[in-house]
Amino acid sequence: MMAAPSENESGNDLQDRVEKFYEDAKGYWASVTPTVDGMLGGFAKISPTDINGSKSFLRQFLKISGGSLMPNRALDCGAGIGRITKRLLLPIFDTVDMVEQDQHFCDNAREFIGSDSSRVENIFCSGLQDFTPAEQGYDLIWCQWVLGHLEDDHLVKFFQRCQKGLREGGVLIVKENTLESDKRAFDDSDSSYTRPKWDLEMCMINAGLKVLSVQKQKGFPKDIYPVYMFALQ
């Protein structure tokens, strides 16, 4: 959670601090090149392992595997240039929408995705704190490596909007860095938090979400944060 206001901090000061939190993140991503390496902070080499782990986790919820999830329409949140849309979602779902706050990522997404970009219906240029998915609009909502850019209250409200955005049998999947410590860490280079696993789960609980499954991503280098996948409804 963003630090509580001190006795000497006015409501305007708090608002300014929250606005700076979001503006600093926006400024950071505006400076990043629209490539897979840019999306992954120089760790493009982990992309195949990441996608394979995500496919394995997602598969159990699909109707074809005995789950409730129909492969019709998906939403990729914090989509960047569409790495997940291209390599994970479009091979499974009929259509995909993307939401990404950085305009130059949005502008480069269809070229990166290639011929299948015709099945990307909408690219919404918006921060998740301001975005509302269409009610009952999606079978799957996928959020990966983006939720650290949301302050807690905004994250809980975003989760609640996602819950309303799911169709019957739909699933929200969150894939995020976590910490094994008791306290979260703030990265002032990109203005983001890395939350402990319990802290992220508390936001889910506060949003009224039901946790269906939790799994740790395997095969990542030991020098990066532990990454967990959560399936939610």
Residues 81-137 have pLDDT tens digits of 999 999 999 999 999 999 999 999 999 999 999 999 999 999 999 999 999 999 999
Residue 2 pLDDT: 46
User: Both tokens of residue 117?
Assistant: 């970009």
Domains, the chain, ranges and CATH? 11-232 (3.40.50.150)
pLDDT at 224: 92
Q: Averaged over 213-223, what is the pLDDT?
A: 96
Distances (CA, A) of 179 to 4, 92, 183, 221, 225: 21, 31, 8, 15, 7
Name the pTM for this structure. Answer: 0.94
Q: What is the pLDDT of residue 10?
A: 63
Residue with tokens 């914090």: 78
Whether 167 has a pLDDT exceeding 90, the answer reads yes
Q: What is the pLDDT of residues 9-61, one digit of tens each?
A: 666 888 888 999 999 999 999 999 999 999 999 889 999 999 999 999 999 99
Percent above pLDDT 70 for the chain: 95
pLDDT at 139 over 60: yes
CA-to-CA separations, 92 to 158, 173, 233, in angstroms, rounded? 25, 15, 20
